[in-house]
Amino acid sequence: MSTEGDGTAIPLAGGGIPPAAHGRARRPWRFAVLISGRGSNLQAVIEACAAGRINGRVECVISNRPEAPGLHFAHRAGIPQTVVDHREHADRAGFERALRHALAACNPDLIILAGFMRILTPDFVNQFSGRMVNIHPSLLPKLRGLDTHARALATGETRHGASVHFVTSELDGGPVILQSTVPMHEHDTPETLAARVQAAEHRLYPAALRLICSGRIQAAGDRVLYDGRPLNAPLQLESLSEVT
C-alpha cells in the first residue's frame, strides 16, 4: 500500500509484495507501462511477454500524450490505455495525482517507463521505490539527460549503449541493472547511432524485466541485488547469454 500526497491510499498488487516473493506458484507480474511517444520499447515488452520470455503482463499503458503512436500497439494488443494529458493539469501536483489514480486502477507490481518524457517529483518516485524502472539511451552514469546520441558522438569515444535502471528521485541516477553496448562508427550520425541503440534496447528491456520477474534482480535502496548479492557494476547484456 502506498499513500498519495493527498492522503488517498493506493493499493499495489499483492499488497506490495512482488509476485516472485509469493512462493512457488508465481503469478505473472502486473506491468503498467508509461509512454510519451513511439512506443517501440513497449512493443518489445508486449512481444516478450506474449512469447513467454517474461513472467509478466502489460496490464495497462498510460500516455501523457493523446497522440502518442505507441498507444496503437496497446490497442492492437487489447491492452487498456489511459491518457493522462499533462497539458490538462495546472501544475505537476495535479498531473501526478491523476497519474496515481490511473496507476491505482491498474494495480501494477512494476511501473515501466518506456520513453516517458515527464520528470516525476521525488514524492511520486519515492512512493514506488524499487517498483519503477526506466530505460535510458546511454551507458549510465555517462550522458544523463537528453540528446545522448549527438553527445556520445561528440565525446570521440568508440562505445555507446543503453541502460535499464531503477528509478530514484535523481534524474537518470538510479541504480543500473543491465546495460547493452553498441559500437560507434566513424561516419555515424545521431540518427544512425540512435537506430543501433534502439535495436539494442529492444533486447535489453525484456532481458532486464525477465531478471526482475524471475526474482534474480531486486532493488535495495540505492543498490541492485543480483541473486541476493549487491551488484558492484551493472550487468552487461552481452555477457548474460542466459537472459538473451
Residues 113, 135 contacting (CB under 8 angstroms): yes
* CA–CA separation, 42 and 128 (whole Å): 20
Q: Given the complex with ligand GRF, which of 35 and 71 has the nearer CB atom? A: 35
* Calpha distance 158→102 (Å, rounded): 42
Angle between helices 190-213 and 148-155 (to 10 degrees): 110
Question: Using CA atoms, how far apart are residues 227 and 211, in angstroms rounded to an integer?
Answer: 10
Minimum distance of ligand GRF from residue 21's CB (angstroms): 28
Residues with a catalytic annotation lie at 136
Q: 92 pairs with which residues across the strands?
A: none
Q: Is 39 in the site for ligand GRF (CB under 6 A)?
A: yes
What residue has cell string 493522462?
Answer: 84
Partners of 236 in beta bridges: 179
Residues touching ligand GRF, count (CB under 6 A):
16
> Considering only 89-97, 131-139, 221-229, 233-241, which stretch makes contact with ligand GRF by CB under 6 A?
131-139
Least spacing, CB of residue 22 vs ligand GRF, in Å? 30
Closest CA to 154 of 189, 195, 191, 198: 189
Among 79, 102, 114, 213, binds ligand GRF (CB under 6 A): 114
Residue among 41 and 127 whose Cβ is closer to ligand GRF = 41
What are 197's three cell numbers? 541503440
CB of 20 to ligand GRF, least distance (A): 25
Tell me how far, at minimum, the Cβ of 232 lies from ligand GRF, in Å: 24
SS3 146: coil
Q: Build a one-symbol-per-residue string for 18-37: x at contacts with ligand GRF by CB under 6 A, - elsewhere.
A: -----------------x-x
**C-beta of 13 vs 112, nearer to ligand GRF:** 112
> Which of 18, 19, 137, 206 forms a contact with ligand GRF (CB under 6 A)?
137
Binding-site member from 59, 96, 188, 201 for ligand GRF (CB under 6 A)? 201
**Other beta carbons less than 10 A from residue 240's beta carbon:** 15
- Is residue 130 a contact point for ligand GRF (CB under 6 A)? no
Q: Does 160 bind ligand GRF (CB under 6 A)?
A: no
To 5 degrees, how large is the angle CA 220–CA 224–CA 225?
85
Options 30, 33, 41, 208; binder of ligand GRF; rule CB under 6 A: 41
d(CA 166, CA 169) in angstroms, rounded, equals 10
Exactly one of 26, 38, 101, 223 binds ligand GRF (CB under 6 A); that residue is 38
Radius of gyration of the chain (CA): 17
Interface residue list for ligand GRF (CB under 6 A): 35, 37-42, 70, 114-115, 135-137, 162, 198, 201
